[in-house]
Amino acid sequence: MAAVTMADLNYNHLRYFHTVAHEGNLTRAAEHLNVSQSAVSTQIRQLEERLGTPLFERRGRALHLTEAGRIALDHADAIFATGRELLATLQQSGRQRVPLRVGAQATLSRNFQLAFLRPLLGRQDVEVILRSGSAAELFSALTALQLDLVLTNQPPALDALTPFAVRRLDEQSVSLIGTPELCPPGQTLAERLDRTGLILPTLASGLRVAFDALAGRMGITPQLVAEVDDMAMMRLLAREGIGLAVLPPIVVRDELESGALVEIEALPDLTETFYGVTVERRFPNPLLAELLNAA
């Protein structure tokens, strides 16, 4: 095979590839580029022929980058970032906004997400793109380099072959929280847990496992009124006064400040840990290090 030169590549090939790689789907990429799917497929095929290697593999309806595709995307990201810098310089319009793509587990505390992202919010040179989803969806997007970072309270299992790097961002105490009407004075923690209905995380949660162990040590059988896998929904149910919620106070910070909810007592040995998950990249987003260092 003859050696490939820069003359064999063009900006249009890279633009189509770059869009498909970040969208992960030909239909969405075609809509974004305002062209037909066949036009996108043709450009990708021509680029693969010139490079002599496939850049995508199809799994169901989704397209996933091959190893060569990931390398190509790193270079394409750098090329398009340089192109944006060039346009901004020549047009004397200042620096273009640099995007940071963050995935957050759908059940994660919104207050934590806001506090974590606050150092970048409102900056004129930054565009924060926040995507919510299941852990599986987000880790798949991270591996495909469609996200720069995933925020979660359930880090992925790691072994020698996994591409993830996990960083602990914060650890919050977990408390018993409820409306003032459900929090009469003079009761011990054991009495509250034994006599009042509880809003608890689901059994799949590490927090629920730790709470059940605490209840076992205390010799009590809690009255379960709701079992929820979403902290935002636990917050709403607690505000409705249907029971006492087992939550990190940061989840209901506004309600605690207004007096709508009361933090009764911190639960011994129970914490909620928040993690940032990344993958090693040849050209990491410079905003990522800035954000993680501020955490």
Within-domain flag for 92: no
In a shared domain, residues 177 and 156: no
Q: Cα 32 to the chain's mean position, in Å?
A: 23
What gap in Å lies between CA 123 and CA 82, rounded to an integer?
20
**Which pLDDT does position 204 carry in this prediction?**
80
267 close to 211: Cβ distance less than 8 angstroms = yes
What gap in Å lies between CA 28 and CA 30, rounded to an integer?
5
End position of a domain, from candidates 80, 107, 126:
80
> In 3-state terms, what secondary structure has residue 99?
strand
**Which pLDDT does position 127 carry in this prediction?**
87
**Which pLDDT does position 96 carry in this prediction?**
64
In a shared domain, residues 47 and 111: no
In a shared domain, residues 144 and 187: no
**Which pLDDT does position 181 carry in this prediction?**
93
Within-domain flag for 85: no
In a shared domain, residues 117 and 161: yes
In a shared domain, residues 157 and 282: yes
**Which pLDDT does position 108 carry in this prediction?**
86
In a shared domain, residues 279 and 231: no
What's 46's DSSP letter? H
CATH number of the domain within which 67 lies = 1.10.10.10
In a shared domain, residues 265 and 248: yes
Within-domain flag for 1: no
- In this prediction, the residues of the chain whose per-residue pLDDT falls under 50 are 1-2, 4, 92-94
End position of a domain, from candidates 80, 108, 141:
80
**Which pLDDT does position 58 carry in this prediction?**
84
Within-domain flag for 89: no
In a shared domain, residues 71 and 187: no
In a shared domain, residues 178 and 200: yes
Q: What is the pLDDT of residues 137-146, one digit of tens each?
A: 898 888 877 8
How high is the mean pLDDT of the chain? 86
Within-domain flag for 146: yes
**Which pLDDT does position 97 carry in this prediction?**
74
Using the structure block, give the residue that is written with the tokens 């408390």: 175
Within-domain flag for 86: no
Q: What is the pLDDT of residues 46-62, one digit of tens each?
A: 888 888 899 999 887 78
Domain residue limits at 182: 171-273
**Which pLDDT does position 13 carry in this prediction?**
84
